[in-house]
Copies of this chain bind each other. A is one copy, B any other.
Amino acid sequence: MRVRLEDVARAAGVSPKTVSRVLNDEANVRGTTRTKVLAAMQAMDYSPLLSARSLASNRSFMVATLYDNPSSSYLTEIQTGVLEACDQHHYSMMVRPLLVEAKDFVERVDALISHRRPDGLILTPPITDHPGLLARLHERGVPYASISPIWRDDTIGAFMDEPQAAREMMANLLALGHRRIAHIIGHHAHGASGWRLAGYRDALSTMGLAYDPDLVVEGDFSFDSGVAAARKLFSLARTPTAVFAANDDMAAGVIWAAGEHGLSVPRELSVCGFDDTPISRQTWPRLTTIHQPSRKMGRVAALQLLEVLRGHSDGRMVQVPFTLQTRESTAAAI
């Protein structure tokens, strides 16, 4: 037979309610009592029944991670981080793929909340920036934490100084002597696309270089869009000597297209990406990129959300550090 809270209470010689208090880490329990109860729990290998707790307290002890992101490695990292945080506080996590462009997007999230009743949500780009959804969440009073949202005010979660990272990457290319540097923009719905482009432009103007619109091509973060963008760049009258793609997948696409085009990387073309996903170590040559600590961001964002859910604080927006990862895909300009 299952050990219930009542059994622990009897063993510890206190009332069930007191055990409940200890379980929920509530104030106003004497230290000696707490110790006694914890010992009894331990001895009996007690673990509370989630459904009973949920029913009585009207909480689900579950957070849902929402995503609409084609990159499985990014996703897995975020997910792993969120799980780490959840485990730490005995919460569980469910995952929910969504289509942010779908007409019924907000209704779908609404339905998820009504049916599954997560205590809070973890939002990943570009879901972080859907005004309709955010409005609905505020309306319903559903707590959430965002990872790399465009607007950080009044929002908790985790972010990175993306423009600065892009500037450092550009500084690296400029130091190698590159002057015709192309940029491949990511999916327009993602804040990252704008930030990385901004960093690109900043770096150019700092060096007193003109911004050449021909060298800036639209992509959508996918490998294929990187290939297409590179083909466009290779067809220019004056081709670039370096390409800074807004993520690794597109950078890998550029390397692929360079192979197709007979261009040697990095001898004739330097290529760099952003994110440091596994693909950056699986191209040949390996990609110079910005290491984005996705797992950590997932963990940090989830911890902030849990702070709120546990009523310990209001949570905050935490900045996490990036690092420039230099590999073989970049070299001095010819």
Contact = CB atoms under 8 A, between A and B. Distances in A.
Interface of A: 47, 49-55, 60, 72-73, 75-77, 79-80, 83, 90, 92-97, 114-117, 223, 249, 252-253, 255-256, 259-260, 278-279, 281-285
Contact of A252 (B75, B90, B114, B282): B282
5 contacts: A50-B115, A51-B117, A75-B76, A76-B76, A80-B97
Given A76-B75, A223-B282, A284-B255, A95 B93 contact: yes
Of listed A51, A77, A92, A97, residue having the most chain B CB within 10 A:
A51
A90 B260 CA distance: 47
Copies in the complex: 2
A34 B292 CA distance: 54
A186 to B, nearest CB: 17
B51 A223 contact: no
A168 to B, nearest CB: 26
A253 B76 CA distance: 21
B97 A94 contact: no
A54 B259 CA distance: 57
A49 B284 CA distance: 53
A223 B259 CA distance: 20
A278 B117 contact: no
A114 B260 CA distance: 55
Which 6 A-B residue pairings sit nearest by Cβ, starting from the closest?
Answer: A51-B54, A72-B76, A259-B284, A51-B55, A256-B284, A72-B73
Nearest to A70: B278
Contacts of A90: 115
B282 A256 contact: yes
Contacts of A95: 79, 83, 93, 95
